[in-house]
């Protein structure tokens, strides 16, 4: 039981004293960057999917 208390107190100490938490502005900026990157990535995958769809339809129509 003492080992669990020691681990918990060490973890709590690191979270309070050693972790650098982002400010609100940094958090908002990071969130916006992730959202924009996710949208761009989704659009690229959508375009690639449309391309493969058109190629497979063309191949099926040939045979």
Mean pLDDT by 10 residues, the chain (63 residues): 92 92 96 98 98 96 89
Tell me whether residue 56 is in a domain. yes
Looking at residue 63, what is its pLDDT?
Answer: 84
Domain that holds residue 54: 21-63
Residue with tokens 């020691």: 6
In a domain, 10, yes or no: no
Residue 3 belongs to a domain: no
Identify which of 44, 23, 16, 18 has the alpha carbon closest to the alpha carbon of residue 31: 23
Q: Judge whether 16 lies within some domain.
A: no
- Give the pLDDT confidence score for residue 25 in this predicted structure: 97
Write down the pLDDT at residue 13: 92
Query: How many structural domains does the chain have?
Result: 1
pLDDT for 1? 85
- The reported pTM is 0.67
Contact 54, 62 (CB under 8 A): no
Residue 57 within any structural domain of the chain: yes
Distance, CA of 34 to CA of 54 (rounded, Å): 30
């Amino acid at each position: 039981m003492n080992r669990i208390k020691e681990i918990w107190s060490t973890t709590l100490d690191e979270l309070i004293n050693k972790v650098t938490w982002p400010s609100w502005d940094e958090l908002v900026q990071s969130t916006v960057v992730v959202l924009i990157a996710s949208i761009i990535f989704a659009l690229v995958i959508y375009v690639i999917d449309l391309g493969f769809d058109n190629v497979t339809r063309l191949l099926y129509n040939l045979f």
